[in-house]
Amino acid sequence: MGFGGGMGRTGKTCGAVTGAYMVLGLSQRLNENNARESIERTYILVQEFNKKFQELNGSIICKELIKYDLNSPEGLAEARSNAVFSTVCPKLVSDAVKVLETILPTY
């Protein structure tokens, strides 16, 4: 639940994007002889994810994606009254999954 609203309603990185970062990290096997190699491989995947997600949506930043500042009571109220969380956010989650499917190997 803490991912919502760009990390606890701060309007920063979209929760769907951050969730995708978790998936990317968990998808990588740790090279016990060279942990840095595993980290660098994950960073490359995160950067590729960002590029593709931004191509679809123009940003990875929540407040830019939804066009509301959820950190203010007025912005939050407007976002709620305009059903942003049930219209815009599900598309962003879907786009994150689609991008993940293009950059992760199928199992």
According to the model, what pLDDT value does residue 106 have?
A: 57
Q: What is the pTM of this model?
A: 0.89
According to the model, what pLDDT value does residue 107 have?
A: 44
| Angle formed at CA 97 by CA 95 and CA 101, multiple of 5 degrees | 115
Question: How far is 75 from 68, CA to CA, in rounded Å?
Answer: 5
- Going residue by residue through the chain, which has 107 residues, state the pLDDT in tens, using 9 for 90 and above: 788 888 888 889 999 999 999 999 998 887 778 778 888 989 999 999 999 999 999 999 999 999 999 999 999 999 999 999 999 999 999 999 999 999 987 54
